Every structure is written in structure tokens, then in C-alpha cells.
Amino acid sequence: MRKIINKVHEKVGLKSDRTINIAKHISWSFFFKIGSIIANFILVPLTINYLDSENYGVWLTLSSFISWFSFFDIGLGNGLRNKFAEAKALGDYKKAQSFVSSAYFTISSISVILLLIFLFLNFFIDWTSVFNTRASLKQDLRILLPVIFTFFTLQLIVKLIITIYQADQHHSIDTKVQFLGQVLSLLAIWGLTKTDNSSLLIFGSIFSGIPVILLVILNFFAFNRRYKDFKPKFNLWKKSYLHEITGLGFKFFIIQIAAMVLFSTDNFIIIRLFGPEEVVPYNIAFKYFSIVTIVYGLLITPFWSSFTEAYANKDYEWIKRSVSNIQKIWFLIPISLIIMVFISNWFYSWWVGDKVIIPIQLSLSIAFYVALMTYNMIYVNFINGVGKIKLQIITSVISMIINIPLSILFGKYLGWGSTGVVLATCFSLGYSVILRPIQYHKLINNTATGIWNK
């Protein structure tokens, strides 16, 4: 049987164990991600029916707002991912455990401080003003925000187990957890629709609590079985190891902040400029076209840690073959996006009925954004994997600085509405799609110098 499997692998070009492992996890990821997408698509109309369009718009913006605070992990997750992969590849298990311990106890301290600060500030903030919504939600939001933020700070800690699995090239773990979370959320929201009560407070508490509970269970399971040798121990927290993680991690931290502003502020800008109702068509169109990003991400995200391991072992030929295959796959994306734009009105009508109207220009702008984003991802995964990210830091900061004023200019003053906000993001992202491939070619051919090699 093993000989037959090997022959199949050879026929489809899967010759190395590293590539075979990636192919296996991509297959699992597709299976679970398709399930998550189906659950999410069912969840959207259920949620709109349960909350109504305005409350749903508030929830979308509120969850995006909370996600901004994820950069307070100061890049520890990405730094741990690279350093754990390197240490384990070189057989230094004690060092790998020290990296895990340093990351866990540091992020735990940060989470406690964040939560205390937020709980204090919550007494003085009028969230109905922040989210531009009706005054009757004031009490619900004052209770809901601390609940969501508490779950969020817990998630900062427990999601590090996903990083460890990914660094160990178990790439499908994230999609498995997401799938289970989506299914449980779907069942919970379906149960809520059977009641006469419509509550943003109840909805938000359930939706933010389920992923945390799942990750806590995964941590307990992993550190008592597969990763027993890497279980966090306080006496293994070392300043020197923390510096190694944060040295690289802080660079990722800057990129995370920039990416957060570039990719996660659109909801907030739209709700401030045009009101909560306008967030809904933007998010529905974004979810529709994000199918492409999700599928493409499933294919190429597993290569991050594999690039780290291959680069550490100087397996440059495998890297070149892998990037070449990813480039070929990308050419299917523009074709897919054209088809999706063509059938978009029919799909929106089938999905959410006539409750939400999405202009064709909004669909076109998001399709263009997805094309740019996915092309960028070809090279960013490799660059992140090898840790040569100084150029990416500079370009990300520039994009962050220009994105919000451009969004206001295009959206409000030029009268392009939500479409203008998306086009501003495309404009801010545009020049990086030229620089990323140049840096990749310099790195893989050992001709990178100066900023290209930092």
C-alpha cells in the first residue's frame, strides 16, 4: 500500500516529505474550511434576522474594533512560530520549550494589564457615540464590551497553541478549530432565533466565548500529549529567549499594527462616515469575495513554517519549486474573480434576499482588492518565513499612514461611498506588489544586500 501511495505522490510531483506533509494538511484544511464557509454563509442571514441590520452592523464594527487590540501580543506569536520551528528543526528541544514558556508567560502578563486598563476606561466611554448608534444600546454596550474584551485577552494567550502546531508543520489545525467554532456558533444562534428575544449582548457573549473555550481545551490536550515536552514552565522563562522572540517578533508587531489599520479600519470608517447600515452591504460583499482569499490562503499559508525550515537547511531548490507552483496557481484567481463579479447580484439575492442591496461598483472594487492581496501573498509568506521583513515594515507603515486620509477623500469628498474606502486600501497596497517579488528573487539567489536582506 505504501508503494502505491509513493507512486501517486511521484505522479503528481510530491517528492519530498515536506511537500507531502503540506499536501496532506492542505487537503484537511480544504475539507474543514469548506465546512466553515458553509456554516458562515448560513450564519449571516440568521444573524441579520435575529439582530436586524443596524445591530448587525454594530456587531461587525465592534468585533473589528476589538480585533485591533490583537497587536498587543507585540508580535510574540509570529516570533515564536519562526524561533520554535528553527529550534525544533535543529533538535534543540529544551530551547524550543524555553521559547514556548517565555511567550506564554509574557503574553499572559500583557493580557492582564490590557484587561485592567480596558475595564477602567469602560466607565468613561460612551460606546453609542463611538459606534454611531442609537442611545438605547448604551447599557448593553457598556456590559458587552468588557465581556468581549475579557474573552479576547484570554484568546491572546490560548491561541499560542495554534502557533506551535503551525510551527511544527501541522498546518490544518487552525481550520479544524475554526470549523468546530463556526458549527457551535451556528447551533447557538439558531437556538437564539427560536426565542422572541433579540439581544446584542447575548449574541456577542456567545459568539466571542465559544472560540476561547475550544482553545482552552486544545491547550490542555496538546500539552498533556503531543507537546508534553514543550509544556510552559515559569522557571524556563528567560530574558535572553524572550529577546530572541521579540527581536523578530517586534518587527512583526509593527507590520501587524500597519496591517490592522490597512485591512481592519474599513468597517469603522464606513460606520463613521455613512452609518451602521452601510457596513452590512460592504461586509456581505467582502465575505463573498473572501472565499477566494480563504481558499488561496489554505494553499499557501502552510508554506510559511516550511520555508523557515527549508531556509535553515539551505534547501533553496525546494523553495524555488514551491514558489513557482504557487505563482501558477495564482493565475486562476483573476478568472475566478471575473466569474464571481458576473454572478454577484444573483448570488447576493439568493444569499440574503432583497434585504440588502450591494452596488456592482462595490463588488468590482473588492474583487480588485482580492487580486492585489493574493498576489502579494505569494512572496510575503516566504519573506515572513525567513524573517527578512525590514522592507515590509517600511512599506506597511507608509500604507498605514496614507490609507485613512485616502479613504475619507475617496469615500466622502469624492462621493464614492464604501467603494471609495475599498479603492483607498487598494491604492495603499499597490506599490508593494512590485517590491515583494523583487525582494524574493534577491533573497533566493543570494544577491540581497542592504534593506533587501534585513
User: Which string of DSSP letters, residue by residue, matches 12-45?
Assistant: TT--SHHHHHHHHHHHHHHHHHHHHHHHHHHHHH
Identify whether residues 69 and 124 lie together within a single domain.
yes
Domain membership of residue 2 (yes or no) is: no
Amino acid found at 27: S
Domain boundary among 219, 246, 273: 246
Q: What value does the CA radius of gyration of the chain take, rounded to a whole number of Å?
A: 22
The CB-side HSE value for 92 (13 A sphere, CA atoms) comes to 11
Identify whether residues 169 and 276 lie together within a single domain.
no
What are the cell numbers at 9? 505522490
- The tally of domains found in the chain comes to 2
Identify whether residues 317 and 219 lie together within a single domain.
no
The CB-side HSE value for 51 (13 A sphere, CA atoms) comes to 24
Asked whether the whole model's pTM tops 0.85, one would answer no
Q: Cβ–Cβ contacts within 10 Å for residue 403, how many?
A: 23
Task: Note the maximum CA span of the chain.
Answer: 68
Integer CA distances (angstroms), 105 to 98, 157, 215, in order: 11, 9, 17
Residue among 124, 112, 31 at smallest CA distance from 72: 112
Domain membership of residue 3 (yes or no) is: no
Residue among 265, 72, 300, 279 at smallest CA distance from 171: 300
Domain membership of residue 332 (yes or no) is: yes
The angle subtended at Cα 418 by Cα 417 and Cα 421, nearest 5°, is 100
Integer CA distances (angstroms), 445 to 376, 393, 402, 439, in order: 19, 22, 33, 10
CA distance 46 to 14: 42
**351 near 283, Cβ under 8 Å?**
no
**144 near 91, Cβ under 8 Å?**
no
Provide the domain limits for residue 33. Answer: 16-246
Domain membership of residue 41 (yes or no) is: yes
Domain boundary among 183, 213, 246: 246
pLDDT tens, residue order, the chain (454 aa):
344 434 433 433 445 666 776 777 677 777 787 887 788 778 877 877 777 767 777 777 777 666 666 556 666 777 787 788 878 877 788 888 888 888 888 888 888 988 899 889 888 888 777 777 777 777 778 888 888 888 888 888 888 888 888 887 776 787 788 888 888 888 888 888 787 677 778 888 888 888 889 999 999 988 888 888 888 888 888 777 777 777 666 676 677 777 767 766 777 788 778 877 777 888 888 889 988 988 888 778 778 777 877 887 778 888 888 888 888 889 999 999 999 999 998 988 887 777 778 889 999 999 999 999 899 888 888 888 787 888 888 888 888 888 888 988 998 888 888 889 889 988 888 888 888 889 988 888 888 888 888 8
